[in-house]
Structure 1
Amino acid sequence: MELFGFGPHLMIDGYQANPEKLADAEMVKRVLDEMPEAMEMTKVLPPFVFEYTGARAEDAGVTGVVIIAESHIAIHTFPEKRFISVDIFSCKEFDLRKAVEYLVETFEIGRYDTYLINRGKEYPKDPELARRIVEGEREYLESRIA
């Protein structure tokens, strides 16, 4: 078990994706609805999906988010550019490869880049360690104020 770190934040930039699938708001909603359970996460609210038209056709697309107990999953699509951007942030470890493969297959992504950040690197997951850190900070502040 890791002692520190709030959790992984996986970002996926997908290129050369299927423009019809990227424009399909119902598909984006279905992905956001099914993905939490597939990743063993807890969906808190139903997905919210919005079709954006934009000032230019190339800016149009679908944006959606689902709030999970562990954090969130967000999808932004740009069918004219054949581009999709996905963020999966969780305080719980999850199968990164499975998430990427699911999205690549579903949206027929031709090429992609992934970025992974461990959020909250100083966030202690061990409650006893967290207690000692907080007590230490309080003692330090009290010594500075007195």
Structure 2
Amino acid sequence: MAKTLGVHIVADLYGCDPEILKSADRMAEIFEGAVREAKLNKLSSHFHQFYPYGATGVIVISESHLSFHTWPEHGYVAIDVYTCGAHELAFKAFDYIVDKLNPSRVEKDVHFRGVIDESEEVEFASAYSVEA
């Protein structure tokens, strides 16, 4: 039986409001909201405002990360949502971001990371078990 350790959503959003995309603060609000909405566990964040416009940012979560990089002059933002927690939480965070940015077009790739056979996990765990 196989299981997946993480899900990584990589997306290009087109036709977004340039007024939102040009502001690191507004993008931070959306991404922080996605973390809260999906009940992810924030560890830290960093956002940067480019001049004359544009923004980039990342939120590090215990499950992995959410990130963005904007091109407001094109109404475009590249985003990543990667979690090693419950897969539905990644999709919940992603859907929240898409809802708030309201793009006219979304191109999304979903990568299931760390697809392992559960028997491999047992072998690894027994090989590295700690004796009391």
Identify the TM-score tier after normalising by the shorter chain.
Answer: 0.7 to 0.9
Distance in structure 2 (CA, Å) of the matches to 1:67 and 1:99: 14
TM-score, scaled relative to structure 2: 0.81
Q: Deviations over 1:61-86 (max 9, x none)?
A: 11010000000000111100110111
- TM-score where L is the length of structure 1: 0.74
Using the alignment, how far apart are the partners of 1:14 and 1:117 within structure 2? Answer: 17
Identity %: 24
Structure 1 residue 115 displacement after superposition:
0.5
Counterpart check, 1:37 vs 2:36: yes
Q: Secondary structure at the match of 2:3?
A: coil
Give the C-alpha shift of residue 96 in structure 1. 5.4
Whole-Å separation in 1 of the counterparts to 2:122 and 2:99: 44
Structure 2 partner of 1:108: 102
Cα deviation for residue 97 of structure 1 reads 5.0
Structure with bigger strand share is: 2
2:50 aligns with 52
- Within a 5 Å distance, the mapping from 1:1-146 to structure 2 comes to 3-45=2-44, 47-53=45-51, 60-92=53-85, 93-95=87-89, 98-122=92-116, 129-133=120-124
**Equivalent residues of 2:31, 2:97 under 8 A apart:** no
Q: Is the 8 Å Cα contact of residues 37 and 92 (structure 2) preserved in structure 1?
A: no
User: Which has more radius of gyration?
Assistant: 1
What amino acid does structure 2 have at the position aligned with 1:69? S
Count how many residue pairs are aligned between Structure 1 and Structure 2.
Answer: 127
